[in-house]
Amino acid sequence: MINLAILISGRGSNMEAILRAIKKKKILAKPVVVISNKPGAKGLEIAQKLGVKTVVVDSTGLKGISWEYDQKIIATLEENNVTSRNGLVCLAGFMRIMSPQFILHYKGRILNIHPAILPAFPGLHSQRQAIEYGVKYSGCTVHFVDEGMDTGPIILQAIVKVKDGDTEESLSKRILKQEHRIYPKAVRLYAQGRIKTKGRKVILL
């Protein structure tokens, strides 16, 4: 069974969706630790209520990529037995960019959810970018994390129609509903060993 770690910075609703799916035995994985870089993250309370260990690795004052900081994350992961052999690291609203060294360490074992149909609208405020661009459809993407910004191989995507009069909030809300559906699904596929990559293409077995 894989040992799962979830990294958050805030609300933690995707984390909650994954943890609940594990509770319901829809995903066969051991949720060993939730790590937040922000001491007050709301998701920390949710994780605790669900009986999952939480650790804060505070990044206050740190700007940009930091291998030094990421080594603290690796140390926390390894203390909790999330290793480069048995672990899966899910970024769920984790607002830091990981260093290339970190990504190499957990190569093929880091997932992220992004609130747009990648490669469109990477980076921050994707829902606002989608509305301002005038696209008729947006959605969300679960992907492997590589050294780029939201550029890793795509595992699952879900489409959401952009309605006339949508605001960043209203669109975000509908996209989030789909995020909560496809992120647990991707973790389940991973835990079942059903995700294969060929270059940047993902094949679901």
- Would you please indicate which residues are annotated as catalytic (active-site) residues? 114
Q: Tell me, what DSSP letter sits at residue 18? A: H
Establish if 150 lies at the interface with ligand GRF (CB under 6 A).
Answer: no
In whole angstroms, give the CA distance from residue 52 to residue 69.
23
Q: Which is nearer to ligand GRF, 15 or 110 (CB)?
A: 15
- Asked if 178 touches ligand GRF (CB under 6 A), the answer is no
The nearer residue to ligand GRF, 84 or 119, going by C-beta atoms, is 119
Q: Is 10 in the site for ligand GRF (CB under 6 A)?
A: yes
Amino acid (one-letter) located at 42 = K
Question: Would you call 90 helix, strand, or coil by DSSP?
Answer: strand
Q: Map tokens 């999952």 to a residue.
A: 52
Give me 164's structure tokens. Answer: 């006339």
Per CB under 6 A, contacts with ligand GRF among 106-145 are 113-115
Structure tokens at 29: 């994985």
Residue 194 buriedness (CB in 10 A; 0-12 / 13-18 / 19+): exposed
Least spacing, CB of residue 151 vs ligand GRF, in Å:
14
Cβ-based nearer residue to ligand GRF, 14 or 129: 14
| Minimum distance from residue 171 beta carbon to ligand GRF (Å) | 11
